[in-house]
Structure 1
Amino acid sequence: MSQQRRYSVSQNWKEQVAVKGEYVSYVRARPNLPTGTSETQTCIFTLLYQFFIEHTYLKVQRRRARGQALIQPGGGTLALPQLIILRHHFRKVEQKFPQPAFEFYRKMPDNSGARTGPPGLNLLSLDGGGITGLSSLLIIKEIMSRAQANSQQDGILKPCELFDMIAGTGTGAISAVMLGRLRMSIDDAIRSYTQLTRRVFSERKLTFTGETGAFKATVLERELKAMLCRAVGDEDAKMMEDQQPDEDVRCKVVVYAMSSYNLTSALPIAFRSYPSTATSARCAIWQALRATTAHPYMFKGIEVDVEGTDLKSMFTHGGLGCANPTPRLLEEARQEYPGRSVASITSIGTGHPRTIQIVTGRTRSSWTTGEAMTKVMRVAQEMAEGSERVAEEIARRFTDVGSGYYRLNVQQGIQGVEASEWERLDEIAAHTRAYLDQIEVKLKIDRLVKEISQKTAVWETSHIDGRVPIALKVMRDSIRSLPPSSSRFTGREEYITKARAYFTSGSQGRRVFVLYGLGGAGKTQIALRCAEELREQ
């Protein structure tokens, strides 16, 4: 802004200070303006102040000419009434100034390393595991404690404020719903979890021939409904939220259960807390949790009308084929957040399992037929419910990245704890604390908390689930000769990222990406820069 165009307000310094302070407070509260170093912010606020004075000074003069008071009735230092500042002028400034402010900010020398696109997503996956699910919550408590120490937030930081999407199965689904859908603090979730497991598993039922489940499903349903009443005041609250909170702060939750009628493909049914283009089961929260925890050895199955058509489906334990929901979570993130990037993937187990093995005797007569079948069935169940194999596959997928994926799971002490041994909760907590005291685990959690807090994009969601990208050589050969983009071009990373993700999504056929806007907005430079990046890939 030229010196000649600035209005002199030195004689009205009280007006100047009041107007500046009011507008700076307004700008700091605006979510669509960026933040940066104090030096950058000072430059921006100075420019905003000059811009504001230039456009309001004539209004001040008009009020003085009309004999209207510039000081609020009863005294005070505010030169302009709040209504004029907030209602009349700021609306015009907001329409004219945010985009230039963005461009000015991005061109500042000390902002070269700042994030210009949307923040990276934080994903959380929780394994199923019965009683040992307490271990997962204690690990999350450690993460939240460190994140709270690094946060500027005065109140208690909740997991739903830290993670963008949480997936769970079995008892991990209960934890996911408590933290994400019900928005509990981690301490409240731990208390609710221990209370629920103690009451559900403290009394076995008498079983007869043909019955399934060693524990009463009615007790589980009663405790789930009681938990919902304490949290939201409605025992029949729906899994899918009716009124969605703001997109930037919402935590999406998805839990999985298996259909008893078809286990061939081991594809689970998803119960989501958010609308989706994919088919979603629509039911109450307690029904979704009953479905995912219906382990054949513990609870009988449950029939749920998932589509509202009076056609019910029978569900069984989500851990049968989906004990570790991380792969499903990555698929869900790709589907729900197209064009976005992921900052961190946190996968938390419920304790390292014991070794799965079949020890055969030296002679065929060492096992009876019944014993052999029992052992084989036991091994098959443990293999189906195994989560470490999936964790190893996911870790191998992200080996070359070097950061972003974290698997946390207690290694020793929990192997012998059965899923229903509620009286060993204190023992589980002790083994988890010992695990968290290990130096390598502390360092891992420190790195994890740093990446969660910074939300720096690591991978694009278009290939986060492991799908093979389209051959880049074909794309490179198909890009015709184009003029180079301007060396002064800066910013617009959000649009470039979306366009690049669209053209590398792997879909077949001709693809067209339309950029539209006012003349001089930068459409040509965005297209040229995107083409250059695709060619470099």
Structure 2
Amino acid sequence: MIGRLRMTIYEALDAYKTFAPQIFGRQKLQCSILSFIFGGAGIAWLDGGNLDKAVQQMLQSKDLEASLSMEESDDPSCRVFLSTVGAQFLHGELIRSYEPQQIGQQNYDCTVWDAAKATTATLVILRPMTLSAPSAPGDKFVGGGMPQLQENNPINQVIDEAQIIWPGRQFGCIVSVGTGCTNLKPLNPKLEFHELTKTLIVIAADAKTTEGEVLETKLGGDLETSKKYFRFGVEDEIDDISLSAFERGPWMEVKAMRFLEGQAEKITACAKSLVHPTPVAC
């Protein structure tokens, strides 16, 4: 929303509040274990058509075509990628709003709402999304939150992409914003029901692990020492809030405001770094 559609943060929040009930409300299951049972049987518990309609309505509200492509035709001033995972080999992929700059990279011919489904399609929420690329016709994707690939915090991909697009440029500031959603429960979509209890694995997708690895690198250490790297993530009690818990929005807003109250000094330093960036060598 913010990068590809040029929406403000407030517009993005308003859009979520408006469309989340349409996407999740009618089909939300009251008992979470049923979603795992359906996921294990290969049955998604949300209709992707509702997400399609919501995103298309949002595009129309901004006088944009419903078939708007994820990739921009011109060289965009604000580049965006969505991180997702290939269903067949569980390999990380990026869906970019810009043309890939390196040999071996590819992009997918998809609309904005196709990309939204591809990065949201965790096995127990939406069916895997099929996207096509010149060298990978019909690849299926199952969302971006696969902990073994550390896609919940794609900071490494951000750094890699920046170094490819702007080789030799120095980093002025990196801001990482977490959603607080650190618990993921992936399932094999081909499991038989009687095998479900044997193969269900609960994995904690801890974004802090990725952050720690970044800060251990020379670039990450230099950025942190120079106060050019900032991580903000509301984690207290929000970790277990699911994507569909839209009705708890007011509670989450209160939690977020309390978090911000304790981060005033850090937020001020971050703002100064963004307005007056001092380059840090790669």
* Structure having the larger proportion of residues in strand: 2
Distance 1:238 1:232, change over 3 A: farther
Preserved CA contact (<8 Å) 2:52 2:113: yes
Match of 2:237 in 1: 413
Paired amino acid for 2:198: M
Distance 1:353 1:289, change over 3 A: closer
Once the two structures are TM-superposed, the CA of residue 395 in structure 1 deviates from its matched residue by 2.9
Please, what is the CA RMSD of the aligned residues?
Answer: 2.6
1:377-388 → structure 2 map (5 Å cutoff): 377-379=200-202, 382-383=203-204, 385-388=205-208
SS at match of 2:123: coil
* Structure having the larger proportion of residues in helix: 1
SS at match of 2:80: strand
Which of the numbers 42, 49, 64 marks the counterpart of 1:233?
64
Deviations 1:112-156 (A, max 9, x none): xxxxxxxxxxxxxxxxxxxxxxxxxxxxxxxxxxxxxxxxxxxxx
Deviations 1:419-453 (A, max 9, x none): 32121111111100000011xx1111111111111
Find the aligned partners of 2:144 and 2:213 in 1 and give their Cα distance.
19
Match of 2:277 in 1: 455
Match of 1:390 in 2: 210
Give structure 1 regions of 4+ aligned residues with deviation exceeding 4 angstroms.
205-209, 369-372
Once the two structures are TM-superposed, the CA of residue 415 in structure 1 deviates from its matched residue by 2.9
Match of 1:298 in 2: 125
Unaligned runs of 5+ in 1: 1-177, 357-368, 461-537
Distance 1:281 1:341, change over 3 A: same
- How does the TM-score come out when normalised to structure 1? 0.45
Find the aligned partners of 1:244 and 1:197 in 2 and give their Cα distance.
32
Find the aligned partners of 1:231 and 1:268 in 2 and give their Cα distance.
31
Preserved CA contact (<8 Å) 2:106 2:133: no
Which of the numbers 3, 11, 31 marks the counterpart of 1:188?
11
Find the aligned partners of 1:299 and 1:371 in 2 and give their Cα distance.
18
Match of 2:32 in 1: none
SS at match of 1:314: strand
Match of 2:190 in 1: none
Distance 1:310 1:400, change over 3 A: closer
Match of 1:481 in 2: none
1:311 aligns with 2:137: yes
Match of 1:219 in 2: 50
Unaligned runs of 5+ in 2: 30-34, 186-193
Is the radius of gyration larger for structure 1 or structure 2?
1
Match of 1:435 in 2: 259
Find the aligned partners of 1:458 and 1:232 in 2 and give their Cα distance.
40
Once the two structures are TM-superposed, the CA of residue 349 in structure 1 deviates from its matched residue by 0.6
Match of 1:269 in 2: 93
Once the two structures are TM-superposed, the CA of residue 323 in structure 1 deviates from its matched residue by 1.0
Deviations 1:134-181 (A, max 9, x none): xxxxxxxxxxxxxxxxxxxxxxxxxxxxxxxxxxxxxxxxxxxx1111
Match of 1:330 in 2: 159
Distance 1:434 1:258, change over 3 A: same
1:48-447 → structure 2 map (5 Å cutoff): 178-204=1-27, 210-244=41-75, 250-263=77-90, 267-277=91-101, 278-307=105-134, 311-320=137-146, 321=149, 322-351=151-180, 353=182, 373=198, 377-379=200-202, 382-383=203-204, 385-397=205-217, 398-401=220-223, 402=225, 403-438=227-262, 441-447=263-269
Paired amino acid for 2:52: E
Find the aligned partners of 1:305 and 1:393 in 2 and give their Cα distance.
33
Find the aligned partners of 1:184 and 1:288 in 2 and give their Cα distance.
17
Find the aligned partners of 1:283 and 1:352 in 2 and give their Cα distance.
27
Paired amino acid for 1:275: E
- Name the stretch that deviates more: 447-456 or 298-307: 298-307
Q: What fraction of aligned residue pairs are identical, expressed as a percent?
A: 25
Once the two structures are TM-superposed, the CA of residue 238 in structure 1 deviates from its matched residue by 0.7
Distance 1:370 1:261, change over 3 A: closer
